[in-house]
Structure 1
Amino acid sequence: MSGKTVHIETLGSGTDLVLLHGWAMHGGIWSGIRDQLAQQFRLHILDLPGHGLSSACDPGDFDHVVNIIQETLPAKYIVCGWSLGGQVAMELALRDSKRVKGLALVSTTPCFVKQYDWPCGMESKFLQYFMENLHQNYRTTINRFLTLQISGEQNMSIALAQLRQFFFERDQPDHNALHKGLLILQTNDMREKLPRIEQPVLLLHGENDMITHRSAAQWMHAQLKHSSLVMFPRCGHAPFLTDPEKFVSSLNESFFFE
């Protein structure tokens, strides 16, 4: 625990690689690939504030969350962010361009919600459902969110079992942090910021993602100055669960430094 706020697990050796999970999750979600990645990288696996083993923070808005995470990270690093963690990774790259050497953006998007000029987002009613039902029936709401994440998978039952196993192995996230995280998903729009990212970016995205449509990854690929895009066939929102070997090899090939 750093500053009694952010829980970080560090293992492996090599180039520093920071792993950031998505909304409602925790660092344990990377359990299926962490040992393989630790053979090439020095991993820093974080629990976002209010998630997993990290304490909640106030006010808990996007800027504050990024500030707290930024204070805990190595001098130079690559950052890999999944879903909401990908937006945090993008902001870190913009604020900390001298420290962030590269990004891997996994199933993420600059804007989660569909707008009049952004057809790549999800319908706002889905996030509104989670917002309204989170406090009334936490476990059912989370299970529906997990099911949405693996929709489009070739082996949905296997992926869902893995996701549930990793998710429920740690204590329930802080409700206030979950609520504020949903607000970030509903309101954060990083489209105008994206072209300012100078670092090399690896985009890893499932072709059947129901939360962040593949068109969002294709749009980011076109906007970013130095990017490569790897699509995962028959895969939903969690490619590191569906095809861990391809996921690890993609990271190793793109970001392995002697």
Structure 2
Amino acid sequence: MSIEQNIAMTGPLTYQTIGTGQDLVLIHGWGVSSAIWEPVVKQLSEHYCVHLVNLPGFAGEPELETYSLENVAETLLAYLPEKAVWCGWSLGGLIATYIAHHYPERVDKLIQVCAALKFVEAASWQGVKKEVFSAFKLGVTKQPQKTLNRFLSLLAMGSETVKTDITTIKQLMSDQIEAKPSALLGGLILLDEVDLRDEFSQLTMPSLSLLGEHDNLVSVANKTKLSELSPMNQQVILQQSSHAPFISEPILFNQVLISFIDA
């Protein structure tokens, strides 16, 4: 299969397409850019037309006046395929889930990668402690670069290849334009406040939740809750991974995605 690559400058959004076939949208998480997907893109592009998009305010993209799920979703939908498989990691998974609920006609299948429906802990729901999130938001306000560097290390903490993973993540991000402070803070506020459990329970398309066994940010303990909320949802746990399984176990990660998409 031939691989076609196109860099599209489309007003406020820059995106990259690689490959041909069924459309697959990859949405990165907080604090990084679409470059984070590099370890898995080549193989995926041999099967699909992969769309790599940078969220507003990240990697040099213009920032939004109001950083809401609705505004982010509308920005992405204006330029991405009419129908695609949407795969979002962490914050990107929250965005993809929102789109799947509010614009189901645009989503063929939904893939959540280490993405919580609610990131902060609540009754009968395991998540990041509220005070930890508050401290992180304060850090972004006062020392954004130091806080971001700390976060990049947290992405791989606990994985069985932690040192290699951290090195890979920092190399992938080393030449990227820094995210705008408003986007960093806006993204954290979304992670802090948004709860999509009800919306997730109403989804009608097939969905896959891919989790890392050693993830310190998104607990695998909520796996049962996902099944209760949506019996159609499939869950796969990558045993050697933390919060970035496409870095820790890229070959297995792709195998899981391809199997789900092609089913």
**What TM-score does the superposition give when structure 2 sets the normalisation length?**
0.93
- What stretches of structure 1 move > 3 A for 4+ residues in a row? none
What residue in structure 2 maps to residue 161 of structure 1?
Answer: 167
Aligned residue identity for 1:86:
G
Shift of 1:216: 2.6
Aligned residue identity for 1:186:
D
Shift of 1:136: 2.8
Identify the match of residue 99 of structure 1 among 106, 109, 112: 106
C-alpha contact (below 8 Å) 2:56/2:64 kept by paired residues: yes
C-alpha contact (below 8 Å) 1:79/1:103 kept by paired residues: yes
**Runs of 5+ in structure 1 lacking a partner?**
none
Identify the match of residue 226 of structure 2 among 210, 214, 220: 220
Aligned residue identity for 1:25:
V
Aligned to 2:155, what secondary structure does the other structure show?
A: helix
Aligned residue identity for 1:36:
Q
Aligned residue identity for 2:62:
S
Query: 1:208-234: CA deviations, max 9, x gaps?
Result: 110011123442233224221110113
**Runs of 5+ in structure 2 lacking a partner?**
1-7
Identify the match of residue 89 of structure 1 among 82, 85, 96: 96
C-alpha contact (below 8 Å) 1:203/1:221 kept by paired residues: no
Tell which deviates more after alignment, 154-163 or 218-227.
218-227
Tell which deviates more after alignment, 200-209 or 210-219.
210-219
Structure 2 CA distance for partners of 1:219 and 1:37, relative to 1, 3 Å: same
- Residues of 1 paired with 2:124 and 2:199: CA distance? 15
- Residues of 1 paired with 2:212 and 2:142: CA distance? 31
Shift of 1:134: 1.6
- Residues of 2 paired with 1:12 and 1:106: CA distance? 21
C-alpha contact (below 8 Å) 2:240/2:249 kept by paired residues: no
- Residues of 1 paired with 2:39 and 2:148: CA distance? 21
What residue in structure 1 maps to residue 5 of structure 2?
Answer: none
C-alpha contact (below 8 Å) 2:25/2:52 kept by paired residues: yes
What residue in structure 1 maps to residue 4 of structure 2?
Answer: none
- Residues of 1 paired with 2:228 and 2:173: CA distance? 33
1:146 paired to 2:168: no
C-alpha contact (below 8 Å) 1:201/1:228 kept by paired residues: yes
Map of 1:168-187 to 2, 5 A cutoff?
168-187=174-193
- Residues of 2 paired with 1:76 and 1:119: CA distance? 32
Map of 1:1-258 to 2, 5 A cutoff?
1=8, 3-115=10-122, 117-256=123-262
- Residues of 1 paired with 2:223 and 2:62: CA distance? 32
Shift of 1:3: 4.2
Aligned to 2:105, what secondary structure does the other structure show?
A: coil
Aligned to 1:193, what secondary structure does the other structure show?
A: helix
Aligned residue identity for 2:107:
V
- Residues of 2 paired with 1:214 and 1:28: CA distance? 26
Aligned residue identity for 1:223:
L
Aligned residue identity for 1:242:
S
C-alpha contact (below 8 Å) 1:108/1:217 kept by paired residues: no
- Residues of 2 paired with 1:217 and 1:69: CA distance? 28
Aligned residue identity for 1:99:
R
C-alpha contact (below 8 Å) 1:197/1:225 kept by paired residues: no
- Residues of 2 paired with 1:51 and 1:175: CA distance? 9
C-alpha contact (below 8 Å) 1:15/1:256 kept by paired residues: no
Shift of 1:170: 0.6
C-alpha contact (below 8 Å) 1:19/1:79 kept by paired residues: yes
CA RMSD of aligned residues (A): 1.4
C-alpha contact (below 8 Å) 2:60/2:178 kept by paired residues: no
C-alpha contact (below 8 Å) 1:77/1:100 kept by paired residues: yes
Structure 2 CA distance for partners of 1:221 and 1:165, relative to 1, 3 Å: farther
